[in-house]
A = this chain, B = another copy of it.
Amino acid sequence: MLSERQRMILSAIVDDYIRSAEPIGSRSISKRGNVGFSPATIRNEMSDLEEMGFLEQPHTSAGRIPSQKGYRYYVDHLIQHGTLTPHELNVIKLFFAEKIDRMEQVIQHVASVLSSLTNYTSIVVGPEVLSTTLKHIQLVPLNESQAVAIIVTNTGQVENKTFTIPEGLSMAELEKVVNILNARLQGVPLLQFRTKLFSEVASELSRYASGHDKLLRELEKVVNKDEENRIFLSGTTNMLTQPEFRDVDKVKSLLDLLEAPPSLIRLVASSHQGGIQVRIGSENSMEAVNDCSLITATYSIGDQFLGTIGVLGPTRMEYAKVMSLLDHVSKNLAVVLGRWYG
Q: Which residues of A contact B (CB under 8 A)?
A: 101-102, 135-136, 138, 140, 142, 146, 148, 150, 152, 154-156, 158, 160-162, 236-237, 240-241, 245-248, 251-252, 255-256, 259
Contact = CB atoms under 8 A, between A and B. Distances in A.
A106 to B, nearest CB: 11
A34 B90 CA distance: 69
Contacts of A256: 237
Contact of A246 (B146, B237, B248): B248
A255 B142 CA distance: 39
A255 B236 CA distance: 9
A148 B152 contact: yes
Q: Is the interface of A mostly helix, strand, loop or mixed?
A: mixed
A180 B297 CA distance: 47
Nearest to A235: B259
| Chain copies in the assembled complex | 2
A152 B135 contact: no
Nearest to A156: B162
Given A138-B150, A252-B237, A158 B156 contact: no
Contacts of A135: 140, 142
A335 to B, nearest CB: 18
A75 to B, nearest CB: 28
A269 B240 CA distance: 28
B136 A152 contact: no
A69 B56 CA distance: 53
A259 B122 CA distance: 14
B101 A161 contact: yes
9 contacts: A135-B140, A135-B142, A138-B150, A142-B155, A150-B150, A150-B158, A158-B158, A248-B248, A255-B255
Contact of A140 (B152, B237, B248): B152
A247 B248 CA distance: 7
Nearest to A250: B248
A150 B135 CA distance: 14
Task: Name which of A102, A248, A255 has the most chain B CB atoms within 10 A of its CB.
Answer: A248
